[in-house]
């Protein structure tokens, strides 16, 4: 299946997303997704479904602490997604580029 992206490298049709697509998108950034990456990507998708928008960093950390691990912080997210956790999570989650990201 062909993946159709916008000018920012984000999936145009979020309904075409699955974890295989997420892995293909990550490979274009030379990143191999682990279970930890996938958990965060799925959380970003859930927040988007609930709110209609990608979460800012603070909200994402708050949700991840509630759902996954109390010790999650921005350093942890940057270790997983070095070029910008919220932007990359949104990209790999098949969501539009966040409004609050450059």
Q: Which residues are catalytic?
A: 101
HSE of 74, CA atoms in CB hemisphere, 13 A: 7
Q: Which residues pair with 5 in a beta bridge?
A: 11
Task: Please list, residue by residue across 79-94, b when 16 or more beta carbons sit within 10 angstroms of its beta carbon and e when fewer do.
Answer: ebbeebbbbbbbbbbb
């Amino acid at each position: 299946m062909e993946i159709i992206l916008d000018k920012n490298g984000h999936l145009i049709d979020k309904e075409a997303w699955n974890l295989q697509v997420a892995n293909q998108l990550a490979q274009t950034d030379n990143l191999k997704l682990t279970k930890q990456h996938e958990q965060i990507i799925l959380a970003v998708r859930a927040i988007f479904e609930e709110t209609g928008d990608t979460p800012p960093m603070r909200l994402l950390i708050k949700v991840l602490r509630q759902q996954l691990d109390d010790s999650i912080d921005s350093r942890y997210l940057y270790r997983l997604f070095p070029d910008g956790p919220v932007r990359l999570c949104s990209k790999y989650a098949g969501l539009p580029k966040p409004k609050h990201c450059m």
